[in-house]
Amino acid sequence: MTVLRSYDEMLQAAAQAGPVPVVIAAAHEHEVLLAASEAQSRGIVRATLVGDKSAIQRMAREHRLDLAGMPIVDEPDHRAAANRAMEIVASGEARVAVKGQVQTPVFLHAALRREAGLRTERLVTHVGVFEVPGFDRLLFITDGGVVLFPTLEQKVEIVSNAIAVARGLGVSTPRVALLAAADEVLDELPVTVEIATIVALQERWQAEGAIVGGPFLLDTAVSPDIARARQRGGRVAGQAEVLVGPDVQSVNTMAKGITYFAGGRMAGLVVGARVPLVVGSRADPPRTRLVCIAAGALLAARTLAS
């Protein structure tokens, strides 16, 4: 499996693996329609649109979007559109669900309610796939959106989900860094003690095909120069692809910092359900929305193939 180092490479890989059937919930939104049209034209997806049909058709005319081959299920109400989209997934007609003009909590509630039949025994978590200027690799950062204050047991599941996403998107042996405010285990920082416990689960991580280390400061985890200067050896320090933060606040803040201060972009996925859930921000530009859809489609295609 080819290592993907950029969004361009991800788009190419998704086109080679596709088309993957996807459904878009509340698709009456210009940016998501543009992204869906582009993804379908590239052979990445075969999309079904659920939303306000008249609004979708009007937007397509106004912006000259080609929606040929995209069935439209007329459902103007956001909550009902999300529920209908999940019914399409549950029926097997789609292998990815994409959030459109609907709030994330409504979208996730539709996907995870018992009636939808999409929940599994796995913990549901958020993984951001980041392209950051100056980095020679994609970064997978978790959990910045679902599990607010994870327990030790939940952190183990968060790591496992991130490993699965990284492997599904081309990282053969993910290097996972567990982040804290120190590069060593300190009793006065309980999170570092938890990290040591997680890192010690080496048999589990070997079975999942990953290398897990920590605690690390963020810069120690991703910069070889800083890792050497701080005399942090091993196979993770300075080379991590997967970054796991201690709680949703720290991860969400880090993600926003990467986006707004470093010019990075994030493709957001929620995993742990039967299918990938694509939860890009409504503020994302069309290209980022396209990459979000491609990431979900590629993950679904490779998961099914394996």
Is the pLDDT score of 3 beyond 90? no
Nearest to 78 by CA among 57, 113, 106: 106
**pLDDT band at residue 285, thresholds of 50, 70 and 90?**
confident
Output the pTM of the full model. 0.95
Which residues share a beta bridge with 129? 140, 267
**pLDDT band at residue 284, thresholds of 50, 70 and 90?**
confident
- Give the Cβ contact number of residue 15 at 10 Å: 18
**pLDDT band at residue 286, thresholds of 50, 70 and 90?**
confident
| pLDDT value for 233 | 87
**pLDDT band at residue 157, thresholds of 50, 70 and 90?**
very high
**pLDDT band at residue 305, thresholds of 50, 70 and 90?**
low
**pLDDT band at residue 279, thresholds of 50, 70 and 90?**
very high
Q: Quote the radius of gyration of the chain (alpha carbons, Å).
A: 19
| pLDDT value for 303 | 82
Mean pLDDT of the 237-263 span: 96
| pLDDT value for 105 | 94
- Report pLDDT digits (tens) over 163-197: 999 999 999 999 999 999 999 999 999 999 999 99
| pLDDT value for 5 | 92
Residue found by looking up tokens 């990459």 in the block: 291
Mean pLDDT of the 143-158 span: 95
- Report pLDDT digits (tens) over 63-115: 999 898 999 999 999 999 999 999 999 999 999 999 999 999 999 999 999 99
Q: Taking all residues of the chain, what is their mean pLDDT, rounded to a whole number?
A: 95
Domains of the chain: 7-119+273-305 (3.40.50.10950), 129-261 (3.40.718.10)
Mean pLDDT of the 135-149 span: 94
Is the pLDDT score of 306 beyond 70? no
- Report pLDDT digits (tens) over 192-222: 999 999 999 999 999 999 999 999 999 999 9
Which residue type is seen at 297? A
- Report pLDDT digits (tens) over 15-68: 999 899 999 999 999 999 999 999 999 999 999 999 999 999 999 999 999 898
Alpha carbons 290 and 276: distance in angstroms, whole number: 15
| pLDDT value for 282 | 74
Alpha carbons 106 and 294: distance in angstroms, whole number: 22
Q: What is the DSSP string of the chain?
A: -PPP-SHHHHHHHHHHH--EEEEEET---HHHHHHHHHHHHTTSEEEEEEE-HHHHHHHHHHTT---TT--EEE--SHHHHHHHHHHHHHTTS-SEEEE-SS-HHHHHHHHHSGGG----SSPPEEEEEEE-TT-SS-EEEE-SSS-SS--HHHHHHHHHHHHHHHHHTT-SS-EEEEE-SSSS--TTSHHHHHHHHHHT-HHHHHHTT-EEEEEE-HHHHH-HHHHHHTT--TTTTTT-SEEE-SSHHHHHHHHHHHHHHS--EEEEEEESSSS-EE---TTS-HHHHHHHHHHHHHHHHHHHH-
